[in-house]
Amino acid sequence: MDRRDFVKLGLAAGAATSGNRVLAATGNSAAKQLGTGGILDAGVWEQQQMMEAGKLTSHALTSQYLARIKTIDKSGPRLNAIIEINPEALKIALDMDRERKLKRVRGPLHGIPVLLKDNIATADRMSTTAGSLALAGVRAARDAHVTAQLRAAGAVIIGKTNLSEWANMRSTHSVSGWSGRGGLTLNPYSLDRNCSGSSSGSGAAIAAGLATLAVGTETDGSIVSPASICGLVGIKPTLGLVSRSGIIPIAHSQDTAGPMARSVADAALMLSAMTGIDPKDPITQESAGKVGDYRAALDKGGLKGMRIGVARNFFGQHAERDAVIEKALVDLKAQGAVLVDTEVPNVGKYSETETEVLLYEFKADLAAYLKEYAPNAPVSNMADVIAFNQQHRQQELPYFGQEYLEQAQAKGDLDTPAYKDALANNRRYARAEGIDQVMKEHKLDALVAPTDGPAWLTDFINGDHFTGGFSSPAAVAGYPHITVPAGYVHGLPVGLSFVGTAYSEASLIRMAYSYEQATLHRRAPLFPPSVSLAVR
């Protein structure tokens, strides 16, 4: 990567982090006390510039993040976003510093600290558990493909993040952000509120400045919902753009990993590093020739002339949230977008069959993962996990049950006609007669709607209180989805979603970046114990 690339990237990322520097500089005592702002809340480009200039090393940066994790995550507000620290993190950072001295910079992620969700396999001294005590201490046989891609790009994997256990596919009355192994992750914008899930720890960690970047995973909403609720940018890629191999699964027809970051520029950089053809995941072959360097999409004028459909059937469930998004629509128009009121058709026709598909695939895919990546684990299939939880009820089942695990165990194999019919139904109504239909009919470049939120009070008695999100159409279709901070409701972040057709990531990034740079809504959290209703 030459100097011109750094300058070009700097124009993209610099403005996205300026709001946080202003917050730190204007004297908020809580922010100063907890250390928000500065290099730990900066973006990739700023950190790289300092390392290039010899004013910062990867070892020093990693050390500062590890110290901040002790201050913010393990004491102080005690966010509990990090489930495990990589004991080799500082050694890896030193290795990246040595390579830099030898002029062997691998790319923009060289020496950058990254967190992985704890369902992504790492062949190192860390466990890979999906938050379950059934896999505590179990080390993966090899890296997930996405882990290997990030290592090759020079990223310093500093730890694993907590998550909703089994990626929130355990109970019909679950509490997002809780796992038997990791406990509950708290929302840095209001400690009594939920981070959403299942990438709860990744969302809370990056919002709080515990690393530069994090990887989340999504089956339906598990990247974009916590990103929205934690005031971040989240990208759920097209199915097959990022390999699924080595990720503890729910369902291969919808699972994907994706970046979670404090700016669109950082998320785009990370997505570029994560993509790649994987022989162990044949669907990635479909991305050949469709992947680019997403830095090229960082265009401040990217909304000009874009036809954007406003998915009105995803409004109306939270008035204050909708008011934030209505203001965002005004901002989109001010940047030259042409807005068309519309609806995503047929969303009710796969609401039940989606769950059916997930249950069938969860049973089959989990057994396949355990056989390949955790052959020495004490559990080898869904039945074993259910039995383990029953034997360890006090630790694993204190707040809610395992209904989804039991329902999955009752399903047949993937040759069952009911499964095949449900999958065909999902693809028909989410793709051809869903997103594709509305975009073709109105000649659209993207769809927008509220992502989710604002965050609800964590409630171990009644479970989660979702207020209606926009994740399912893109999740079921396997299409890309980006969320960007759009504003706040009583100090709680709200995100704006951009959704497109398959492999339209570059176009969506262009629009999301243009919106982000025109508005710069994100501000760092201050870790209040609860929401102040006086704050609008």
Catalytic residues: 117, 198, 222
Q: Cβ-count burial of 137 within 10 angstroms (0-12 exposed, 13-18 middle, 19+ buried)?
A: exposed
Q: Kindly state the tokens that stand for 51.
A: 């390392």
CA 391 to each of CA 132, 169, 173, 397: distance values in angstroms, whole numbers, following the listed order? 13, 19, 20, 10
CA 78 to each of CA 64, 72, 321, 528: distance values in angstroms, whole numbers, following the listed order? 17, 6, 28, 12
199 and 218 Cβ atoms separated by less than 8 Å: yes
For the CA atoms of 474, 113, 243, 308, the dihedral, rounded to the nearest 10 degrees, stands at: 20
**Helix segments in 35-88, DSSP class H:** 44-52, 58-68
Question: Which residue in the block uniquely carries the two structure tokens 């409701």?
Answer: 489
Question: Which residue in the block uniquely carries the two structure tokens 């970047």?
Answer: 213
The rounded distance, in Å, linking the Cα atoms of 412 and 123 is 32
**Helix segments in 374-442, DSSP class H:** 382-391, 393-396, 403-409, 417-427, 436-441
Q: Fill in the amino acid letter for 202.
A: S
Q: Cβ-count burial of 173 within 10 angstroms (0-12 exposed, 13-18 middle, 19+ buried)?
A: middle
Q: Cβ-count burial of 249 within 10 angstroms (0-12 exposed, 13-18 middle, 19+ buried)?
A: buried
Q: Cβ-count burial of 106 within 10 angstroms (0-12 exposed, 13-18 middle, 19+ buried)?
A: middle
3-state secondary structure of 238: coil
The rounded distance, in Å, linking the Cα atoms of 516 and 84 is 32
Q: Kindly state the tokens that stand for 477.
A: 């279709």
What are residue 215's DSSP bridge partners? Answer: 116, 259
Element spanning 497, H or E: strand 492-499
What are the E-state strand segments in 312-366? Answer: 338-342
